[in-house]
Amino acid sequence: MWTYIVKRVLLMIPTGIGIITVFFVISEMVPGGPLDQVESMIIEQANTGQGGDGAAAGGQDAQRIKIDPQMRMQIKRKLGLNHNMFHRYMRSLVWCARDSLISSVELDVGQAQKITFRSERFQVYRDDAGFHLFKNAATVNGKSAGIRFDRTDGYFASVLDNTVRFNPVTGAQIDGPASLEAVKTELLSKTFREADYASDGARLTVTETRDELYLKTSSWQTLTDWDNWHGMFLLKFPVSITQNKKCFELIRDRLPISMRLGIISFFLTYILCLLMGVSKAARNGSKYDSVTSVMILIGYGTPGFVLAVFLIRMFGPGSDAIAHLIPLRGIQSSPEIYDQLSVLGKLWDNIHHLIAPIICLTIGSFAGLTMLTKNSVLEEFHQLYAVAARARGLSKRRVLFKHVLRNSLIPLVTGFPAAFVMMFFAGSLLIEKIFSLDGIGLLSYTALVERDYPLIMSNMFIFTYIGLICQLLSDIGYVIVDPRITFEGSKS
């Protein structure tokens, strides 16, 4: 069994590589990728602000606003697109490499720029000889403060005292003993193949050579610095296009809501379907079986989102409601109310907000699984081993729980992975929308609509592995339910 588990875990690696490869090819080769999306949003906002209807003030033939090359390079750096295609692909998997601070495209000669690199702030100045990097801090009268670049005089000046100035090349104070802290850097000239567009809108591939500025470190420092490691297998995810935030942070912030809904409704569904399915099979053909079958068919034919609208209409906060039992939105009350509650009060407040969404998520899948459980139990009752057990004088109840029930669980275990993962996506999307729950289902739908490729890829990567792990647990469940099942090869 352990050999099988190790093999399955190792096979998960090429699955993740395949997912990343497919989305990388789509985002790189097909027009409308991450860079195109950001540029389109910026141009649309700029043109709308200029002309009001998406056109410039001069009319339909007026020249539309274009992205400045420096801004375009900054966008690419933000999205991690300032690398060659092979490096971008490897950075999506697992890769160790330094990140550049700035390039010659982003800064003109004789200009300076304030940059933030891995939570540290710097000032970089460029002249004919190259780049000069300093810590963005200067001590004036015992106080440490940032510096700014005076474009008129061409010097760095303290933000506290404009008369305290520094040479942008050497960092030495003008007419003073102080100096800026210089940072050792390395300038490398590299050639990149970039995607661009011709005047007629055709997509082109152009070759660009630019200088990239790096912090000077040894090979050992590069390898041992965790910030130099990249890749989704290391849980280092790209930046979302539409929300300008790390995809992992977006998923992490919304996952607890979906986990509450998905896990509770999942286990509640399986527990109820087992109890009712077994009881219906034991009383097959009775009045109890007929009444519950009608109720189950009604639940099966009622979509969860329709039930959600009905519950809000009848028991929500509206004036037409019969009783005000269901909150309108959110996973908990507003902070002003929630923070004033006791521990038990907060627990009840969360339960109160979860009752209606969980009912809506549970009702449809519960109905189908209940009938599946009943039919599976009845089928096993007619197997020879069950008939023989009854012939030996064992009671129906003993045969059910000692012999039939374990074999009847195999079809339920089969659907375990798909049911669990779907609770986070299709099962919860409309419910999250109706009850205004900011969960994974709504996040994934928004990413698809807005073509946020990094967020789509991150969602698919994480939940594919959740599904694969659940599938592995399902296979282990087979062995627990029926020890006769083995995944090891037969031995001669």
The DSSP secondary structure of 1-65, one letter per residue, reads: -HHHHHHHHHHHHHHHHHHHHHHHHHHHHSSS-HHHHHHHHHHHHHHHHHHSSSS-TT-TTSPPP
* pLDDT at residue 313 in the model: 81
Residue 433: which domain range?
247-481
Secondary structure of the chain: what % helix, strand, coil (to 5)?
A: 55, 15, 30
What is the CB-side half-sphere exposure of residue 169 using CA atoms within 13 A? 7
**CA end-to-end distance (rounded Å), the chain:** 18
Q: For residues 241 and 42, what is the distance between their CA atoms, to the nearest angstrom?
A: 12
Q: Would residue 324 count as lying in a domain?
A: yes
Integer-rounded Cα radius of gyration of the chain: 31
* pLDDT at residue 238 in the model: 87
- CATH number of the domain where residue 324 is located: 1.10.3720.10
Q: Do the beta carbons of residue 458 and residue 254 sit within 8 Å? A: no
Q: Do the beta carbons of residue 165 and residue 150 sit within 8 Å? A: yes
Q: For residues 457 and 21, what is the distance between their CA atoms, to the nearest angstrom?
A: 10
Q: Supply 95's token pair.
A: 């890769």
Number of other CB atoms surrounding residue 223 within 10 Å: 11
Q: For residues 173 and 460, what is the distance between their CA atoms, to the nearest angstrom?
A: 54
Q: For residues 236 and 230, what is the distance between their CA atoms, to the nearest angstrom?
A: 6
Q: For residues 112 and 123, what is the distance between their CA atoms, to the nearest angstrom?
A: 7
Residue indicated by tokens 């809506």 = 360
Q: Supply 259's token pair.
A: 């986990």
Number of other CB atoms surrounding residue 99 within 10 Å: 17
* pLDDT at residue 52 in the model: 52
Q: Would residue 204 count as lying in a domain?
A: no
Q: Do the beta carbons of residue 414 and residue 292 sit within 8 Å? A: no
CA of residue 305 relative to chain centroid, distance: 24
Burial class (CB in 10 A: 0-12, 13-18, 19+), 367: buried
Q: Would residue 338 count as lying in a domain?
A: yes
Q: Would residue 197 count as lying in a domain?
A: no
* pLDDT at residue 196 in the model: 66
Q: Would residue 320 count as lying in a domain?
A: yes
Q: Would residue 371 count as lying in a domain?
A: yes
Q: For residues 422 and 467, what is the distance between their CA atoms, to the nearest angstrom?
A: 9
* Domain count within the chain: 1
Instruction: Report strand pairing: 112-117 vs 165-166.
Output: unpaired
* pLDDT at residue 94 in the model: 92
Q: Do the beta carbons of residue 39 and residue 72 sit within 8 Å? A: yes
Q: Would residue 37 count as lying in a domain?
A: no
Q: For residues 386 and 395, what is the distance between their CA atoms, to the nearest angstrom?
A: 11
Q: Would residue 156 count as lying in a domain?
A: no
What dihedral do alpha carbons 301, 305, 309, 314 form, nearest 10°?
Answer: 50
β-sheet bridge partners, residue 135 = 122
Residue 488 three-state SS: coil
Q: Do the beta carbons of residue 422 and residue 429 sit within 8 Å? A: no
CA of residue 169 relative to chain centroid, distance: 44
What is the CB-side half-sphere exposure of residue 104 using CA atoms within 13 A? 15
Residue 368 three-state SS: helix
Burial class (CB in 10 A: 0-12, 13-18, 19+), 188: exposed
Q: Which among 287, 443, 295, 465 is positioned nearest to 366, based on CA atoms?
A: 295
Alpha carbon separation from 131 to 117, 257, 402, 429 (Å, rounded): 16, 48, 78, 50
* pTM more than 0.75: no
Segment-wise mean pLDDT, segments of 10 residues, the chain, 492 residues: 80 87 79 72 69 46 60 82 85 91 90 90 92 88 85 88 89 87 90 70 75 91 92 88 85 83 81 85 85 84 81 78 76 80 85 84 77 84 82 81 76 67 63 81 82 84 82 75 63 46
What is the CB-side half-sphere exposure of residue 229 using CA atoms within 13 A? 12
Q: For residues 405 and 217, what is the distance between their CA atoms, to the nearest angstrom?
A: 64
Q: Which among 175, 158, 176, 156 is positioned nearest to 166, based on CA atoms?
A: 156
Residue indicated by tokens 């929300």 = 243
